[in-house]
């Protein structure tokens, strides 16, 4: 278990369940870091889907922006 995972779990238990403000503040920071990390992740993007018949070929190319 990583440190951030431990802090998230502990902050839920101590901050939300038991009402301890210090742990609640830790939880806000740790959960915000997790949310920002998820927002910053790249996700695959599907541009197009096509069904190819037998014998057809597919050419993939890339154009880089200027």
pLDDT at 66 over 80: no
pLDDT class of 60 with cuts at 50, 70, 90: confident
Contacts of 21 (CB under 8 A, 6+ apart): 15
Picking from 24, 27, 38, the residue whose alpha carbon sits closest to that of residue 5 is 27
pLDDT confidence band for 16 (50 / 70 / 90): confident
Is the pLDDT at 21 greater than 80, yes or no? Answer: yes
27-53 pLDDT, tens digit each? 999 999 999 988 888 888 888 888 999
* Sequence ranges of the domains in the chain: 3-39
């Amino acid at each position: 278990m990583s440190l951030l995972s431990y802090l998230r779990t502990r902050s839920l238990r101590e901050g939300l369940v038991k009402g301890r403000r210090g742990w609640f503040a830790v939880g806000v920071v740790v959960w915000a870091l997790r949310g920002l990390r998820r927002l910053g992740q790249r996700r695959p993007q599907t541009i197009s889907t096509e069904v190819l018949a037998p014998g057809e070929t597919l050419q993939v190319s890339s154009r880089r922006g200027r």
